[in-house]
A and B are shown apart, each in its own frame.
Chain A
Amino acid sequence: MSELTSNLLPATNEDTCGPYFPIYFADPALEDLTRFDPGVVGQAAGTPIILRGRVLDRHGDLANGALLEFWQANAKGVYRTPATEGEDDVDPWFHGYGRLRTASGAYGYRTILPGAAPGRAPNITLTIFSDGINRIVTQIFFEGQTGNDTDPVLLSVGAEAPKLIAKHDGRTAGGCEVYLFDVVMAGPGETPFFDDLES
């Protein structure tokens, strides 16, 4: 990483997650953002969805042991950040951050369909940690959303935009709309990834 701005401290290097991120650190509340503990009343606003897919390597094999992190706006398109603290449209029952470790490389993540932030199509930021790499980051969009044609991130990848759009699989499961999104980490069909550390 370039450190031309010399008044910044030199950053600790990121490193690979390795294959053994402890399953013990799993948090069910982060694997399903619509979930509440038994006996607790509360409900994130919005349309529940399941995002399903596979994380694939350069040879088309499943990337086992990957750690996936998700970040999104609430149903009204508002992110819960220091910048939106106290705003009326922050959903008290939805923080927008999810995480799961996939043992096999296939995943299923339950959340709500994000709303559109100003000037954007609904999307979920996906960060992948795994053995062999430092983090890689992309954004997932949803088939059929009106803002997709004008979204700056989708436009920025040109003809590769379809690689970032999750497809509705034509059915619901457990009251959730099901979307399918595969990630290709490397090689033919590689998913576009973004430089979130420097750009």
Chain B
Amino acid sequence: MGKHGRVLGIGPTDNTSDQRTPRQPLRLIPEVARSSFVPVVPARYVTNPHEWDMTRTAPDRPRADGVPIEVTGRVCTASGRPVPNALLEIWSANLYGRYRHIEDHSGLRLDENHLGMGRVLTDDEGRYRFWAISPGAYLARPDIGRWRPKHIHMSISGGASRMITQMYFPDEPNNASDPMAILMGDAFERNIGKPRDPGGTDVEEGYDFDIVIGGRNATFFE
């Protein structure tokens, strides 16, 4: 490693990335200060019992429009240690590409049976599971016709492991032009859910998405 840290990439055709990406190389953390840069998130059990099922707004409500899917996986650090009791905060658009968020002014169709927000905890082995509606893609740059491929946002916090990421879907036509996918290069493949048989559960598709939290922070206290 040289005298400075990573130079952050700017997502091609992403205006916000252009506005918000630091231009200077990241600075190296002096070794004596290293431990102070490792936030340890206190255990947060902030989820409601029904939130794992994002295909409905409540257990006694009908299913939202679209294909119900199950997403399962395991959260671990780069050294393979499972991250137990981690909080996964999940958000995604509905079938029509609309978020039920007060700042989503896209005008796309809302679905009265879709919230698109849920929280689950990992178990002792770092495993998680939730149901969602397979989200719609949405037009992010109407001026150049660039779409955001369908994706599910996930925020993971557990101890010194912290990550915000997105799960993408295989063989989607818009994957290749996504600014962040372009920055990931070949490693983009790691962010694609792996289709699997949903088994006997009441969903139509299943995906495995293992999450590996990289970087020095996640393994700092191992």
Contacts and interface: CB of A to CB of B under 8 A. Distances in A.
Q: Is the interface of A mostly helix, strand, loop or mixed?
A: loop
A17 interface: yes
A153 B101 contact: no
Interface string B65-106: 000000000001011100000000101000000010111100
A181 B76 CA distance: 35
Nearest to B34: A199
Interface of B: 1, 4-6, 8, 11, 14-24, 26-30, 32-33, 35-42, 44, 46, 76, 78-80, 89, 91, 99, 101-104, 117, 119, 153, 155, 159-160, 162-166, 180, 184, 187-188, 190-191, 210-217, 221
Contacts of A169: none
B212 A185 contact: no
Interface string A46-66: 000000000001110101110
5 contacts: A8-B214, A20-B153, A25-B117, A136-B22, A197-B217
Contacts, number: 231
A196 B37 contact: yes
A65 B103 contact: yes
Given A58-B18, A71-B38, A156-B28, 17 more contacts: A8-B78, A9-B78, A12-B190, A13-B165, A13-B180, A18-B166, A20-B99, A79-B36, A81-B40, A97-B41, A131-B16, A136-B22, A153-B33, A192-B24, A194-B29, A195-B4, A198-B216
Interface stretch (A34-42, A121-129, A170-178): A121-129
Contacts of A79: 35-36, 40
A153 B76 CA distance: 30
Contacts of B11: 16, 132
A172 B138 CA distance: 46
Interface of A: 1, 7-25, 27, 57-59, 61, 63-65, 67, 69, 71, 73, 79-83, 95-97, 103, 117, 119-120, 123, 125, 127, 129-137, 139, 152-153, 155-157, 185-187, 190-199
Contacts of B35: 79, 81, 83
Most B CB within 10 A of own CB, among A135, A190, A199: A199
Contacts of B23: 58, 186-187, 190
A17 B210 CA distance: 19
